[in-house]
Copies of this chain bind each other. A is one copy, B any other.
Amino acid sequence: MRLSLDAAHALALQALLASGVSAAQAAAIAGNVTAAERDGCPSHGLFRLPGYIRSVQNLKVTRDAVPQVTDLAPAVVQVDGNNGFAPLALEMGHSRLVGKARHCGIAAMAVTRIFHFGVLWVEVEQLAQEGLVAFAFTQSSSAVAPAGATKPLFGTNPMAFAWPRVGRPPLVFDQASSVTARGELLLKLRDGSSIPQGWAVDSSGAATTDAAAALAGAQLPFGGYKGSSIALMVELLAGALIGEAFGFEAAAADNNDGGPTLGGELIIAIDPAHFSPHGNSEAQLAHAELLFARILDLEGARLPSDRRYAARQRSAVDGIVIPGALQAELSAMASSGARAE
Protein backbone atom coordinates (compact mmCIF):
# COMPACT_ATOMS: atom_id res chain seq x y z
CA MET A 1 0.00 0.00 0.00
CA ARG A 2 1.65 3.25 -1.14
CA LEU A 3 1.03 6.48 0.77
CA SER A 4 2.40 10.00 0.47
CA LEU A 5 4.20 11.29 3.55
CA ASP A 6 1.36 13.72 4.15
CA ALA A 7 -1.16 10.91 3.95
CA ALA A 8 0.92 8.76 6.32
CA HIS A 9 1.14 11.62 8.78
CA ALA A 10 -2.60 12.28 8.55
CA LEU A 11 -3.39 8.61 9.04
CA ALA A 12 -1.17 8.44 12.12
CA LEU A 13 -2.62 11.63 13.53
CA GLN A 14 -6.22 10.58 12.99
CA ALA A 15 -5.68 7.14 14.49
CA LEU A 16 -4.15 8.73 17.60
CA LEU A 17 -6.76 11.48 17.94
CA ALA A 18 -9.62 9.04 17.48
CA SER A 19 -8.12 6.98 20.29
CA GLY A 20 -8.29 9.96 22.63
CA VAL A 21 -4.66 11.06 22.54
CA SER A 22 -4.42 14.83 23.07
CA ALA A 23 -3.74 16.97 20.01
CA ALA A 24 -0.28 17.96 21.24
CA GLN A 25 0.80 14.39 22.08
CA ALA A 26 -0.68 13.05 18.84
CA ALA A 27 1.03 15.62 16.62
CA ALA A 28 4.41 14.88 18.19
CA ILE A 29 4.00 11.10 17.84
CA ALA A 30 2.74 11.39 14.27
CA GLY A 31 5.84 13.42 13.42
CA ASN A 32 8.14 10.77 14.92
CA VAL A 33 6.58 7.74 13.23
CA THR A 34 6.28 9.54 9.89
CA ALA A 35 9.97 10.50 10.11
CA ALA A 36 10.81 6.83 10.65
CA GLU A 37 8.79 5.78 7.59
CA ARG A 38 10.25 8.64 5.54
CA ASP A 39 13.78 7.53 6.39
CA GLY A 40 13.24 3.88 5.52
CA CYS A 41 12.83 2.51 9.05
CA PRO A 42 9.41 0.79 9.08
CA SER A 43 10.20 -1.04 12.34
CA HIS A 44 9.72 2.30 14.14
CA GLY A 45 7.08 3.71 11.80
CA LEU A 46 3.32 3.32 11.52
CA PHE A 47 3.83 -0.30 12.60
CA ARG A 48 4.21 1.03 16.15
CA LEU A 49 0.91 2.94 16.28
CA PRO A 50 -1.24 0.02 17.46
CA GLY A 51 1.18 -0.30 20.39
CA TYR A 52 0.95 3.41 21.19
CA ILE A 53 -2.82 3.25 21.01
CA ARG A 54 -3.20 0.09 23.10
CA SER A 55 -1.11 1.79 25.78
CA VAL A 56 -3.61 4.63 25.91
CA GLN A 57 -6.69 2.44 25.72
CA ASN A 58 -5.62 0.40 28.70
CA LEU A 59 -4.75 3.57 30.65
CA LYS A 60 -1.04 2.74 30.97
CA VAL A 61 -0.08 6.02 29.30
CA THR A 62 -1.79 9.31 30.10
CA ARG A 63 -3.43 10.34 26.84
CA ASP A 64 -3.35 14.09 27.52
CA ALA A 65 -0.19 14.36 29.62
CA VAL A 66 1.32 17.84 29.71
CA PRO A 67 5.10 17.64 30.20
CA GLN A 68 6.66 19.97 32.72
CA VAL A 69 10.02 21.69 32.13
CA THR A 70 12.20 22.47 35.18
CA ASP A 71 15.63 24.02 35.48
CA LEU A 72 17.87 21.82 37.62
CA ALA A 73 21.22 23.58 37.19
CA PRO A 74 22.90 26.13 34.90
CA ALA A 75 23.53 23.36 32.36
CA VAL A 76 20.78 20.88 33.24
CA VAL A 77 17.10 20.93 32.35
CA GLN A 78 14.56 18.29 33.28
CA VAL A 79 11.37 17.48 31.45
CA ASP A 80 8.90 15.43 33.43
CA GLY A 81 6.80 13.68 30.82
CA ASN A 82 4.00 13.16 33.34
CA ASN A 83 3.38 9.63 32.13
CA GLY A 84 2.91 10.66 28.50
CA PHE A 85 4.77 9.68 25.33
CA ALA A 86 8.30 10.88 24.65
CA PRO A 87 7.94 13.04 21.52
CA LEU A 88 6.00 15.92 23.12
CA ALA A 89 8.26 15.96 26.19
CA LEU A 90 11.29 16.22 23.91
CA GLU A 91 9.72 19.01 21.90
CA MET A 92 8.91 20.99 25.03
CA GLY A 93 12.44 20.77 26.43
CA HIS A 94 14.20 21.43 23.16
CA SER A 95 14.58 25.21 23.24
CA ARG A 96 15.66 25.27 26.88
CA LEU A 97 18.34 22.68 26.17
CA VAL A 98 19.55 24.62 23.14
CA GLY A 99 19.71 27.83 25.16
CA LYS A 100 21.71 26.18 27.93
CA ALA A 101 24.16 24.58 25.51
CA ARG A 102 24.65 27.91 23.72
CA HIS A 103 25.31 29.65 27.01
CA CYS A 104 27.36 27.04 28.90
CA GLY A 105 29.02 25.21 25.99
CA ILE A 106 27.56 21.87 27.01
CA ALA A 107 24.21 21.02 28.60
CA ALA A 108 22.07 18.02 29.46
CA MET A 109 18.36 17.31 29.36
CA ALA A 110 16.89 14.63 31.61
CA VAL A 111 13.55 13.44 30.31
CA THR A 112 11.67 11.41 32.88
CA ARG A 113 8.37 9.52 33.16
CA ILE A 114 7.99 9.05 29.43
CA PHE A 115 7.05 6.17 27.20
CA HIS A 116 9.63 6.09 24.40
CA PHE A 117 8.63 3.92 21.48
CA GLY A 118 10.20 5.69 18.54
CA VAL A 119 13.52 6.38 16.86
CA LEU A 120 16.11 8.49 18.67
CA TRP A 121 17.70 10.04 15.65
CA VAL A 122 14.89 12.59 15.35
CA GLU A 123 15.87 14.39 18.55
CA VAL A 124 19.61 14.50 17.89
CA GLU A 125 19.11 15.49 14.26
CA GLN A 126 17.01 18.47 15.37
CA LEU A 127 19.74 19.62 17.75
CA ALA A 128 22.40 19.24 15.06
CA GLN A 129 20.27 21.23 12.66
CA GLU A 130 20.72 24.07 15.11
CA GLY A 131 24.48 23.64 15.01
CA LEU A 132 24.92 21.52 18.12
CA VAL A 133 26.67 18.19 18.59
CA ALA A 134 24.22 15.88 20.33
CA PHE A 135 23.95 12.54 22.11
CA ALA A 136 20.79 10.70 23.17
CA PHE A 137 20.48 7.64 25.38
CA THR A 138 17.36 5.75 26.35
CA GLN A 139 16.75 2.44 28.07
CA SER A 140 14.03 0.05 27.07
CA SER A 141 12.37 -2.97 28.57
CA SER A 142 14.70 -5.81 29.58
CA ALA A 143 15.64 -7.80 26.46
CA VAL A 144 19.41 -8.16 26.17
CA ALA A 145 21.76 -10.50 28.03
CA PRO A 146 24.93 -8.93 29.44
CA ALA A 147 28.03 -10.34 27.75
CA GLY A 148 28.72 -13.85 29.02
CA ALA A 149 25.17 -14.37 30.28
CA THR A 150 22.10 -15.75 28.50
CA LYS A 151 19.21 -14.16 30.41
CA PRO A 152 17.81 -10.75 29.49
CA LEU A 153 18.62 -7.82 31.77
CA PHE A 154 19.48 -4.69 29.76
CA GLY A 155 17.09 -3.04 27.35
CA THR A 156 18.13 -2.80 23.71
CA ASN A 157 19.30 0.62 24.93
CA PRO A 158 19.92 2.74 21.86
CA MET A 159 22.45 5.55 21.74
CA ALA A 160 22.29 8.25 19.10
CA PHE A 161 24.83 10.86 18.04
CA ALA A 162 24.63 13.77 15.64
CA TRP A 163 27.19 16.12 14.14
CA PRO A 164 26.09 19.30 12.31
CA ARG A 165 26.98 19.85 8.66
CA VAL A 166 26.74 23.06 6.69
CA GLY A 167 24.28 22.97 3.81
CA ARG A 168 23.48 19.27 4.37
CA PRO A 169 21.53 17.24 6.85
CA PRO A 170 23.60 16.30 9.92
CA LEU A 171 25.66 13.16 10.26
CA VAL A 172 23.62 10.98 12.60
CA PHE A 173 23.74 7.49 13.96
CA ASP A 174 21.19 5.81 16.19
CA GLN A 175 22.04 2.29 17.18
CA ALA A 176 20.76 -0.27 19.63
CA SER A 177 23.27 -1.80 22.03
CA SER A 178 21.98 -5.16 20.89
CA VAL A 179 23.10 -6.73 17.61
CA THR A 180 19.77 -5.63 16.20
CA ALA A 181 16.82 -3.49 17.26
CA ARG A 182 13.91 -5.34 18.86
CA GLY A 183 11.64 -3.92 16.16
CA GLU A 184 13.58 -6.00 13.61
CA LEU A 185 12.75 -9.14 15.56
CA LEU A 186 9.10 -8.12 15.67
CA LEU A 187 9.07 -7.58 11.90
CA LYS A 188 10.69 -11.00 11.33
CA LEU A 189 8.07 -12.58 13.58
CA ARG A 190 5.26 -10.83 11.69
CA ASP A 191 6.70 -11.93 8.36
CA GLY A 192 7.41 -15.48 9.51
CA SER A 193 11.09 -15.28 8.54
CA SER A 194 14.06 -16.60 10.48
CA ILE A 195 16.72 -14.40 12.08
CA PRO A 196 20.49 -14.61 11.50
CA GLN A 197 22.75 -16.52 13.89
CA GLY A 198 24.25 -14.32 16.56
CA TRP A 199 21.25 -12.09 17.17
CA ALA A 200 19.81 -13.95 20.12
CA VAL A 201 19.57 -17.01 22.34
CA ASP A 202 16.40 -18.88 23.29
CA SER A 203 15.08 -19.20 26.83
CA SER A 204 17.41 -22.14 27.50
CA GLY A 205 20.42 -20.04 26.50
CA ALA A 206 21.01 -21.82 23.19
CA ALA A 207 21.63 -19.92 19.94
CA THR A 208 18.47 -19.58 17.87
CA THR A 209 17.34 -18.40 14.44
CA ASP A 210 13.66 -18.45 15.38
CA ALA A 211 12.19 -14.99 15.99
CA ALA A 212 9.61 -16.18 18.51
CA ALA A 213 12.21 -18.15 20.47
CA ALA A 214 14.52 -15.11 20.38
CA LEU A 215 11.79 -12.83 21.72
CA ALA A 216 11.13 -15.31 24.53
CA GLY A 217 14.88 -15.66 25.19
CA ALA A 218 17.50 -12.91 25.13
CA GLN A 219 18.97 -10.68 22.46
CA LEU A 220 22.76 -10.40 22.40
CA PRO A 221 24.79 -7.18 22.69
CA PHE A 222 26.69 -6.04 19.60
CA GLY A 223 30.41 -6.72 19.60
CA GLY A 224 30.35 -8.90 22.73
CA TYR A 225 31.49 -7.31 25.98
CA LYS A 226 32.07 -3.90 24.39
CA GLY A 227 28.47 -3.55 23.26
CA SER A 228 27.44 -4.88 26.66
CA SER A 229 29.38 -2.05 28.30
CA ILE A 230 27.54 0.46 26.11
CA ALA A 231 24.20 -1.11 27.12
CA LEU A 232 25.19 -0.81 30.78
CA MET A 233 26.23 2.82 30.31
CA VAL A 234 22.90 3.68 28.67
CA GLU A 235 21.03 1.94 31.49
CA LEU A 236 22.89 4.07 34.05
CA LEU A 237 22.48 7.36 32.15
CA ALA A 238 18.79 7.03 31.26
CA GLY A 239 17.98 5.16 34.47
CA ALA A 240 19.87 5.80 37.71
CA LEU A 241 21.37 9.19 36.79
CA ILE A 242 18.07 10.86 36.03
CA GLY A 243 16.02 9.00 38.66
CA GLU A 244 14.35 6.61 36.27
CA ALA A 245 13.74 2.87 36.25
CA PHE A 246 16.12 0.34 34.72
CA GLY A 247 14.91 -1.86 31.89
CA PHE A 248 14.33 -4.81 34.18
CA GLU A 249 12.31 -2.67 36.59
CA ALA A 250 10.26 -1.17 33.77
CA ALA A 251 9.60 -4.66 32.43
CA ALA A 252 8.42 -5.88 35.84
CA ALA A 253 6.07 -2.90 36.23
CA ASP A 254 4.70 -3.12 32.69
CA ASN A 255 1.36 -4.62 31.70
CA ASN A 256 2.99 -6.42 28.74
CA ASP A 257 0.57 -4.98 26.22
CA GLY A 258 3.27 -4.80 23.58
CA GLY A 259 3.41 -1.03 23.87
CA PRO A 260 6.31 1.00 25.28
CA THR A 261 7.44 0.84 28.91
CA LEU A 262 7.88 3.77 31.29
CA GLY A 263 11.40 5.14 31.31
CA GLY A 264 13.67 8.09 30.69
CA GLU A 265 16.07 9.62 28.22
CA LEU A 266 19.25 11.62 28.63
CA ILE A 267 20.26 14.10 25.96
CA ILE A 268 23.58 15.94 25.91
CA ALA A 269 24.13 18.90 23.60
CA ILE A 270 27.45 20.60 22.90
CA ASP A 271 27.95 23.96 21.19
CA PRO A 272 31.13 23.64 19.11
CA ALA A 273 31.48 27.43 18.93
CA HIS A 274 32.56 27.39 22.59
CA PHE A 275 35.46 25.08 21.78
CA SER A 276 36.86 27.36 19.09
CA PRO A 277 39.19 30.33 19.43
CA HIS A 278 37.11 32.01 16.70
CA GLY A 279 33.84 31.96 18.65
CA ASN A 280 32.12 30.14 15.81
CA SER A 281 32.19 26.59 14.56
CA GLU A 282 33.03 27.21 10.89
CA ALA A 283 36.56 25.81 11.01
CA GLN A 284 35.54 22.75 13.05
CA LEU A 285 32.66 21.85 10.75
CA ALA A 286 34.83 22.36 7.67
CA HIS A 287 37.48 20.14 9.21
CA ALA A 288 34.96 17.36 9.81
CA GLU A 289 34.07 17.41 6.12
CA LEU A 290 37.65 16.31 5.35
CA LEU A 291 37.11 13.21 7.45
CA PHE A 292 33.78 12.46 5.81
CA ALA A 293 35.37 12.81 2.37
CA ARG A 294 38.15 10.41 3.36
CA ILE A 295 35.60 7.85 4.52
CA LEU A 296 33.67 8.09 1.26
CA ASP A 297 36.92 7.70 -0.70
CA LEU A 298 37.34 4.21 0.77
CA GLU A 299 35.80 1.42 -1.24
CA GLY A 300 32.98 -0.20 0.71
CA ALA A 301 32.60 2.51 3.36
CA ARG A 302 29.68 4.87 3.83
CA LEU A 303 28.55 7.51 6.30
CA PRO A 304 26.14 6.28 8.98
CA SER A 305 23.15 8.34 7.89
CA ASP A 306 23.55 8.15 4.12
CA ARG A 307 21.06 5.34 3.61
CA ARG A 308 18.45 7.15 5.64
CA TYR A 309 18.92 10.37 3.72
CA ALA A 310 18.71 8.51 0.42
CA ALA A 311 15.47 6.95 1.62
CA ARG A 312 14.29 10.41 2.64
CA GLN A 313 14.88 11.76 -0.85
CA ARG A 314 13.04 8.83 -2.40
CA SER A 315 10.07 8.99 -0.05
CA ALA A 316 9.64 12.73 -0.61
CA VAL A 317 8.88 11.86 -4.25
CA ASP A 318 7.49 8.33 -4.14
CA GLY A 319 5.90 8.26 -0.71
CA ILE A 320 6.18 5.15 1.43
CA VAL A 321 4.84 1.61 1.31
CA ILE A 322 3.10 -0.03 4.26
CA PRO A 323 1.40 -3.42 4.47
CA GLY A 324 -2.26 -3.32 3.46
CA ALA A 325 -3.30 -4.95 6.72
CA LEU A 326 -1.61 -2.20 8.74
CA GLN A 327 -3.23 0.50 6.64
CA ALA A 328 -6.63 -1.13 7.14
CA GLU A 329 -6.09 -1.45 10.88
CA LEU A 330 -5.07 2.20 11.24
CA SER A 331 -7.90 3.41 9.01
CA ALA A 332 -10.37 1.49 11.15
CA MET A 333 -8.89 3.05 14.28
CA ALA A 334 -8.98 6.50 12.72
CA SER A 335 -12.62 6.26 11.75
CA SER A 336 -14.01 4.23 14.65
CA GLY A 337 -12.70 6.39 17.42
CA ALA A 338 -11.64 3.45 19.58
CA ARG A 339 -11.43 5.64 22.66
CA ALA A 340 -11.03 4.29 26.13
CA GLU A 341 -13.60 6.25 28.06
Q: Which residues of A contact B (CB under 8 A)?
A: 72-76, 78, 103-108, 110, 133, 145-151, 153, 161, 163, 171, 173, 175, 179, 222-227, 229-230, 232-233, 235-237, 239-243, 246, 248, 268, 270-272, 274-277, 283-285, 287-288, 290-291, 294-295, 298-302, 304
Contacts and interface: CB of A to CB of B under 8 A. Distances in A.
A6 B76 CA distance: 42
B175 A246 contact: no
Given A149-B300, A295-B232, A106 B274 contact: no
Contact of A78 (B73, B146, B275, B288): B275
A224 to B, nearest CB: 7
A270 B304 CA distance: 28
Contacts of A236: 133, 163, 288, 291
A298 B104 contact: no
A153 B298 CA distance: 9
A272 B171 CA distance: 29
Contacts of A301: 145-149, 153
Copies of this polypeptide in the complex? 2
B75 A232 contact: no
22 contacts: A72-B275, A73-B104, A73-B106, A73-B271, A75-B105, A75-B106, A76-B105, A108-B275, A133-B236, A133-B237, A148-B298, A148-B301, A149-B295, A149-B298, A151-B298, A171-B232, A226-B227, A232-B304, A235-B291, A240-B287, A241-B275, A246-B287
A277 B243 contact: yes
Contacts of A302: 148
A277 to B, nearest CB: 7
A306 to B, nearest CB: 11
Given A133-B237, A150-B299, A222-B227, 17 more contacts: A72-B274, A73-B105, A75-B104, A78-B275, A133-B241, A146-B298, A147-B301, A149-B295, A153-B294, A153-B298, A175-B226, A239-B291, A240-B291, A241-B272, A242-B275, A243-B276, A243-B277
Contacts of A298: 145-146, 148-149, 151, 153
Contact of A161 (B222, B229, B246): B229
A283 B245 CA distance: 12
Contact of A107 (B106, B145, B148): B106
A233 B292 CA distance: 12
A327 to B, nearest CB: 32
A169 to B, nearest CB: 16
Contact of A283 (B103, B147, B243, B290): B243
A150 B300 contact: yes
A288 B105 contact: no
Contacts of A230: 230
Contact of A106 (B108, B283, B291, B294): B108
Contacts of A284: 240-241, 243
A116 B277 CA distance: 23
A78 B75 CA distance: 18
Nearest to A269: B106
A76 B274 contact: yes
A294 B153 CA distance: 8
